[in-house]
Amino acid sequence: MTYQYKNSRVVNVAVVQMTCTEAKEPNVEKALAKIADAAAKGANVICLQELFAGHYFCQSEDHAKFDQAESIPGPTSNALQVAAKQHGVVIVGSLFERRAPGLYHNTAVIFDADGTQLGLYRKMHIPDDPLFYEKFYFTPGDLGFRSFQTKFGKVGVCVCWDQWYPEAARLTALSGAEIMFYPTAIGWLPEEKEVFGASQHSAWETMMRSHAIANGVFVAAPNRVGLEGALQFWGGSFVSDPNGNLLAKAKHEGEETLIVPCDLGLIDVVRTHWPFLRDRRIDAYGDLTKRYIDDAR
């Protein structure tokens, strides 16, 4: 039995988990086919994984990789825009953006169901870890944490490494987001998987489910899957409700598209019973803008 909330608004959220080739065109074609399939099965809002148009190239520092970047608008974003209008769906797509000569971003573009480009989100937190050398490629975002009013609800977008920061989730929720999307590229280093793999995956999933609880929002995270270079992307894409419950979860191996009904009416119910936004001490949080609070201040 499905419970109907007083202000029930059911949105079918789709997250696309797919393998990628090094060449761009097959990935774009595959993503468009998966968008069409999800739309035919009733999806309203569809989110692709991080940097879906190619291999995850940040495993090394290689100036030649900058040639993969595109302007927005550009060929790949234009293809997503056409698909959004054709199928009447909202699309969130993560791209390697060439903003200007020597200025590149890891950027999500958001299209409404009529094909209108609602805006961009440029990844704010940029990692620099073994096989994740993103600081070499991406300038930190300068658009802030935002949400976008779509035909089917207000969506917020953060990208991958942003998912570890409760401040990012909070500010996105405070901008009005009802569904938060986290297009992701995360996986295991094979030599670490046996010892740390389960813990690493659990931490990743738990962190985002905690964002859903703390902010009273739906959270959807599409992740890459498959072996690329030295990384095994662990899939495990999921959708969580505002109570942190997993509504659906993809497997760790192989492609999968989740299509999950999300009743946005639940948000008000959860926030009323767990009034975290009401009880925030906004007068006491000024030190959050500091790097660290020294005892000797």
Six-digit token pair at 11? 């949105």
Residue 61 scores a pLDDT above 80: yes
Check pLDDT > 60 for residue 71. Answer: yes
**pLDDT tens figures, 11-36:** 999 999 999 999 999 999 999 999 99
List residues with catalytic annotation.
50, 123, 160
The predicted structure's pLDDT at residue 1: 46
Provide the CB-side half-sphere exposure for 271 (13 A, CA). Answer: 17
Q: Stretch 223-250: mean pLDDT, rounded? A: 97
Mean of the per-residue pLDDT values of the chain: 96
Average pLDDT (225-240) is 97
Please state, in angstroms and rounded to a whole number, the distance separating the CA atoms of residues 265 and 268: 6
Q: C-alpha dihedral over 88, 92, 94, 99, to 10 degrees? A: 80
Tokens 């903003």 locate to 99
DSSP string covering 99-122: EETTEEEEEEEEE-TTS-EEEEEE
CA dist., res. 187 & res. 50, Å (int): 12
**CATH architecture entry for 10-289:** 4-Layer Sandwich (3.60)
List 111's β-bridge partners, or say none. 91, 117
Q: Residue 121 and residue 192: Cα distance in Å, rounded?
A: 32
Between 297 and 189, residue with greater pLDDT:
189
Residue 170: CB partners within 8 Å, gap ≥ 6?
214, 215
Half-sphere exposure of 114 (CA within 13 A, CB side): 5
Is pLDDT at 84 greater than 60 in this prediction? yes
Give tens-digit pLDDT for 114-169.
999 999 999 999 999 999 999 999 999 999 999 999 999 999 999 999 999 999 99
80 sits in which H/E element: helix 75-87
233: Cβ contacts below 8 Å, ≥ 6 apart: 56, 185, 186, 187, 223, 224, 225, 226, 227
